[in-house]
Amino acid sequence: MTERKNFLGQISRLSIDRYRIVYLFMAVMIVLGLYFYLILPRESKPEVVFPKIKVNVNYAGASPEDVESLITNKLEAALSQVEDVEFLTSSSMAGRSEIQLDFFPEADIEEKINEVNQAVLSVNDLPEEADPPSVKVSTTANRAFMVISLSGDMSPADLKDAADSISEKLISVKGINDIKVSGLQSSEISIVVDPARLAEFNLTVDTLVQTLRLRHKDTPAGDAVLDGTHYFVRVLASYSRIDEISRTLIPLSGGGTVFLKDVAQVNQTYVPRTDYSRRAVKLGTEEASMMSAVTLSLYRDGGTDIIGPSDSVKAFLNDREANGLPDELDVLIIQDDALSVKEDLAEVLGNAGSGLIIVVLVLFLFLGLKEAIITSLIIPFSLFLSFIALNQSGMTFNTMTLLAMIIALGLLVDNAIVVVESIAEFRLKGLSRKQAAIAGTSEVAPSILAATLTTMAAFFPLAYMEGRIGLIISVIPLTIVFIIGASLIVALTVTPMLGSRLLSKKTGKKEPRPFSLVREVIEAVIVIILFMFSFFVDGRPGVLSFVMASVMTLIFVIRIYSRSKKLDVFARAAETYRKILIRLLSRKRNRVLLPLIMFLLLGAVLSTIPLGLLRIELFPVMDESSLYVTLSTPQYSTLDDTDAVTRQIESKLLSLDGVDAIYSEVGVDSMREAEIVLNLKGPGERTWTTKEMIPQLLKDIASIPGVKATIGTSAGGKTANSPVQIKLIGRDMDSLDEASVKVSNALKEVEGIANAYSDLEPGFPEVQILLKPLAAADLGIDATTLGNAVKTAVSGQVSGTLITSETDLPIKFSTREDKIDSMEDLDKILLTLKDGTRLPLTHIASIVETNGLGTIRHSGGDRTVTVFAQMLPDANIREIVDQFDVKISSVDLGAGIHYEWAGDAADLDASFSEMTVNLVLALLVVFLILAVQFNSLSQPLVILLSVPMAVIGVFAGLLATGNNFGLYAFMGVIALVGIAVNDAIVLVDTINRNRGDGMPLTEAINDAGKSRFGPVLATTITTIGGILPLAFRDENYAQLSLSLIFGLMTSTVLTLIVLPIFYYHAETIKTSFKKRFPVFVDEEENNE
């Protein structure tokens, strides 16, 4: 056999000849790889900048209808002109407008921020009372990475001062960009006006407010050169003390002045509570209770390392004296995502280490010690190159990138195995190790290039999936592409160079080393112990550890026996396989029956989905470390009502075992909403899983009248934790309300639904004060005067802020010391006329009590109502969708009303549709690569038949292990398009080379099967070995790893047995066709 000259072979030859440069290249890779590994930011899940921009506007006191007409509709009209928007949705609620733009994935988010800002600025007729619009990009870093609870035997003012002081210092920590404080009881300057004294001096509240605003201000007066010196000139007149406010002089209309304290009481008081924050202490004891606290939620910069800021915060809190923390202040970290990041990374790193050990041990068993060392060195160098690529592409080091590395562990040694095996074949022919390295690498370089490109081609489309799910999982295929690409570089440069330098100098057939029972037993013990260690769970050996140790013990018993008898087990196995091939190819019945059986098996496993044996899902339900309980109380509930319900639920949660901490916030977005967060102990430290507990907690909360609850494992309320979401679209709110009731009722009848409710809730009761134009005009009172008077009486009117050395205090006017807490109190509001006459409010206005709308939501300009539901533990989203569609088909939702699925159902359909497209695209790209590689159209089809062979294993394996077919399993199928074909590529390439050397078709197939038997098994077992620990130790990624494992098992077996038959049929059909149609014969073909 002569050396096959090609460009890739020349690169290998150059690496072998210039080995010192390769050594330098290896040293540089080590240094740069370690450097970039150390500086890669760490996080649990990859931070993904979702293509979403939110525009929010606060409009205090406005009803949802006013917010919709005066703000939302105007901004929507302007924002609808922004391009690349997939969805434009909005929510108009009391006092606030929220608009969200969902962009297509390919949109340049930085460019879109500018376009959105320009569109918002173009709307210049928003109400003056509304706050300026805020524009914010949505990223995963918008979730707090750390939550700190502050409490102690301190006054509210002292606790607030401590919280403010800590916030001011922590905001300077590198990586922290925002701190939100909740649970504070803030202070203000309260100015309570005496209406009688106002009337006595013929004053109005407006006069007092305007006087304070004119008095309480500093004015820049420019700059000037005085006596040769350049000065800035300022007029300073703002208040610095409370007594200065009370001594403000108020001008009287008839001349003279009075002090403010003569007509009003000026005091520092507490602002009425708008929220409550509590935390649980002494969990698991009889003294367990919730105590009031102030909560600091820390947010980090996008793309930064989460562990560094966390460590800095904890160092700050531990050094109490240096940082001025009061002795009576009790500080507790109740959430620290850095801990879970460390645990997740440690878990996946453990899986990676176990996989690496298994891969190296398998290489040792198949190739021998030196060959295993040379082959396994491709792993660290490929990873070093990938760390450089990860850093340069702006990615982080997280569980997803680690998962990709585990999957790639077995794959990246495939190229090196093929190269080392090829070098070994040429050494058997008498070539020196250098000549064998050059010839062997050149021989297989085209085939490993094709195998690498096909693997990359299968993963590459996954990196550009659209939608929310695609943006999250794209890290996995991108990382694998980086690593596999790096492995090709190393396999063509480092591996042949090391082979030419480190392999034995002896040529010809390798003589087996003298048998030594002691050495064999020592090797066996070391390998068995390492195998056991690779399958440890939580640092302890489990059942799987002993099973794998038993398997390895059996292998070594066979190995020791065969070596003692000087038997070559692998050679005998390969020869036995060759004889089986001869028998299969020599009988027509076998050549027909085996492919038929394969297709029947394929049809059988595919039918498990329509038959309901294998269920479809988006992601498997996991046992997570946190539970989020989101509460909504009935329509007329006050903050105290919601707080009472929250306390009732807290008392139930305190009795649960396995809970590390509980903290709650009441008044999260409104006084009717609350959230309780449970931080859980590890799965081994509690007797229940989150999957089991959620339905029980929902049942307990359902016993509380009027309370709606959503419980899940994700922060984000009902939207994040309700997999079942149905969006109703229309124009009329009454019709949407009726339709939502019908949909909720139909959904409750579906098997597997735990609860169902809509987001359409009655708004707050409204008191509408309607001006009587004629009466007001006669008395000289306009709408502004009336509005200010009512606002001052009801909620107070802010006239400025008192800035002291310690804090900033709002200055607020009111006309009563007591709260207005009845309709009669409204009637008693007095208006002061210009002549000093005081009249009740009802003289110029009528008071009407009514119900306003709740939040008004838009989608694409239409009003929408969404029905949410949670599923029971064993329910399946696909089955729920099918059942509901049947039930709702006979229900009349009303004119102009239609529905569409959202949530998991929409994500499932969108993701699986895109996965199907990616599967077809991967098959097409792989076919094109193979067509170019083999200069054939039939042989790529033969090779691609290894994909349905793998699918048989995927479906059968998931069914056998009790798993569903989810997005990760589908990803495994697409990955197998590139992985499963690798063995087939090498096998077909060897057959073609044999035929090129003049072998008849059947002999060429048989000989190729025998020669590739060992490498095929080695590459498959190393790939499976790298993934195996992940499959049984991490339930999060079991579907993906099991799909790859079972898919590779069946594809390897069927590739060795059935694929040669398909090759035989393809070549005989092609030969027969060319005999009948000579015009298609290519005289330069070597295969004829």
How far is C-alpha 307 from the geometric centre of its chain's CA atoms? 18
Task: List the structure tokens of 972.
Answer: 């495994």
Q: What is the pLDDT of residues 153-196, one digit of tens each?
A: 888 888 888 888 899 899 888 888 888 888 877 778 888 888 78
The torsion region of residue 685 among left (phi > 0), alpha (psi -120 to 50) and beta comes to alpha
User: Does residue 1029 surpass a pLDDT of 80?
Assistant: no
The secondary structure of residue 906, as a DSSP letter, is H
Instruction: Say which amino acid occupies 899.
Output: Y
In this predicted model, which residue has the larger pLDDT, 941 or 839? 941
User: Does residue 513 surpass a pLDDT of 70?
Assistant: no
Asked if the structure places residue 949 within a domain, the reply is yes
Say yes or no: 404 and 450 in one domain: yes
Say yes or no: 78 and 9 in one domain: no
Of 449, 480, 506, the position where a domain reaches its end is 506
Close Cβ partners of 56 (under 8 Å, ≥ 6 residues apart) = 96, 97, 98, 99, 133, 134, 136
Looking at residue 792, what is its pLDDT? 76
Cα 1083 to Cα 394: distance, rounded to the nearest angstrom: 52
Given a contact cutoff of 8 angstroms between Cβ atoms, the answer to whether 649 and 629 are in contact is yes
Among 375, 601, 587, which Cα is nearest to 490's?
Answer: 375
Per-range mean pLDDT, top range of 524-538, 742-756, 782-796: 742-756
Say yes or no: 30 and 82 in one domain: no
Residue range 884-906: average pLDDT? 87
- The rounded percent of the chain whose pLDDT value lies above 70 is 88
User: Crossing angle of helices 399-428/475-502, nearest 10°?
Assistant: 30
Given a contact cutoff of 8 angstroms between Cβ atoms, the answer to whether 1060 and 581 are in contact is yes
Q: How many helices (H) and strands (E) does the chain have?
A: 37, 33
Say yes or no: 1048 and 1082 in one domain: yes
Band of pLDDT at residue 78, cut at 50, 70 and 90: very high
User: Does residue 115 surpass a pLDDT of 90?
Assistant: yes
Residue 877: burial class (beta carbons within 10 Å; 0-12, 13-18, 19+): buried
Residue range 31-41: average pLDDT? 88
Cα 189 to Cα 173: distance, rounded to the nearest angstrom: 33
Among 699, 702, 648, 652, which Cα is nearest to 674's?
Answer: 648
Among 446, 428, 430, 454, which Cα is nearest to 491's?
Answer: 446
- Render 704-766 in DSSP notation, one character per residue: STT-EEEEESSSSHHHHH-SEEEEEEES-HHHHHHHHHHHHHHHHTSTTEEEEEES--EEEEE
Residue range 208-233: average pLDDT? 85
Q: Which residue(s) pair with 644 in the sheet? A: none
Asked if the structure places residue 969 within a domain, the reply is yes
Among 1065, 1028, 1063, which Cα is nearest to 1045's?
Answer: 1028
In this predicted model, which residue has the larger pLDDT, 275 or 817? 275
Say yes or no: 30 and 112 in one domain: no
User: Does residue 1033 surpass a pLDDT of 70?
Assistant: no
Band of pLDDT at residue 514, cut at 50, 70 and 90: low
Residue range 1011-1023: average pLDDT? 80
Asked if the structure places residue 929 within a domain, the reply is no
Domain of 95 in residue numbering reads as 41-140
From the CB of residue 1017, how many other CB atoms can be counted at a distance below 10 Å?
19
Cα 102 to Cα 87: distance, rounded to the nearest angstrom: 5
User: Does residue 611 surpass a pLDDT of 80?
Assistant: yes
Task: List the structure tokens of 544.
Answer: 């799987």
Per-range mean pLDDT, top range of 401-410, 418-427, 591-600, 798-807: 591-600
Asked if the structure places residue 984 within a domain, the reply is yes
Rg (CA), the chain: 37
- Render 123-146 in DSSP notation, one character per residue: ---S-TTSPPPEEEEEEGGGS-SE
User: Does residue 102 surpass a pLDDT of 80?
Assistant: yes
Among 844, 827, 829, which Cα is nearest to 778's?
Answer: 844
Q: What is the pLDDT of residues 465-495, one digit of tens each?
A: 776 677 777 888 888 889 888 889 988 898 8
236-245, 462-471, 1035-1044: segment of lowest average pLDDT: 462-471
Among 703, 821, 826, 848, which Cα is nearest to 765's?
Answer: 848
Cα 957 to Cα 817: distance, rounded to the nearest angstrom: 73
User: Does residue 574 surpass a pLDDT of 90?
Assistant: no
Say yes or no: 209 and 132 in one domain: no
Say yes or no: 1060 and 1070 in one domain: yes
Q: What is the CATH number of the domain that holds 418?
A: 1.20.1640.10
Close Cβ partners of 786 (under 8 Å, ≥ 6 residues apart) = 769, 771, 776, 831, 844, 845
Band of pLDDT at residue 567, cut at 50, 70 and 90: low
Asked if the structure places residue 474 within a domain, the reply is yes
User: Does residue 980 surpass a pLDDT of 50?
Assistant: yes
In this predicted model, which residue has the larger pLDDT, 568 or 814? 814
Given a contact cutoff of 8 angstroms between Cβ atoms, the answer to whether 141 and 301 are in contact is yes
Mean residue pLDDT across the chain: 82
Q: Which residue(s) pair with 52 in the sheet? A: 102
User: Does residue 594 surpass a pLDDT of 60?
Assistant: yes
Looking at residue 1087, what is its pLDDT? 46
For the chain, the farthest-separated pair of C-alpha atoms sits apart, in whole angstroms, at 124
Asked if the structure places residue 692 within a domain, the reply is no
- The rounded percent of the chain whose pLDDT value lies above 90 is 10
Asked if the structure places residue 146 within a domain, the reply is no
Residue range 900-914: average pLDDT? 86
User: Does residue 663 surpass a pLDDT of 70?
Assistant: yes
User: Does residue 118 surpass a pLDDT of 90?
Assistant: yes
Asked if the structure places residue 807 within a domain, the reply is yes
Say yes or no: 376 and 451 in one domain: yes
Of 853, 886, 909, the position where a domain reaches its end is 853
Number of domains in the chain: 4
How far is C-alpha 466 from the geometric centre of its chain's CA atoms? 14
User: Does residue 1088 surpass a pLDDT of 50?
Assistant: no
Given a contact cutoff of 8 angstroms between Cβ atoms, the answer to whether 208 and 178 are in contact is no
Per-range mean pLDDT, top range of 89-103, 199-213, 685-699: 89-103
In this predicted model, which residue has the larger pLDDT, 717 or 31? 31
How far is C-alpha 262 from the geometric centre of its chain's CA atoms? 61
Q: What is the pLDDT of residues 613-628, one digit of tens each?
A: 998 888 887 777 788 8
Say yes or no: 32 and 111 in one domain: no
Looking at residue 600, what is its pLDDT? 94
Say yes or no: 66 and 24 in one domain: no
Q: How far is CA 493 from CA 22, 24, 253, 378, 1023, in A?
A: 7, 12, 95, 10, 22
The b/e string for 726-744 (b: 16+ C-beta within 10 A; e otherwise) is bbbbbeebebbbbbbebbb
Q: What is the pLDDT of residues 408-465, one digit of tens each?
A: 877 777 788 888 888 888 887 888 888 888 888 888 888 888 888 888 888 888 887 7
187-193 and 808-814 strand pairing? parallel
Band of pLDDT at residue 287, cut at 50, 70 and 90: low
Say yes or no: 992 and 1084 in one domain: yes
Of 483, 506, 529, the position where a domain reaches its end is 506
Q: Hey, is 15 helix, strand or coil?
A: helix
Say yes or no: 950 and 1081 in one domain: yes
Q: What is the CATH number of the domain that holds 92?
A: 3.30.70.1430
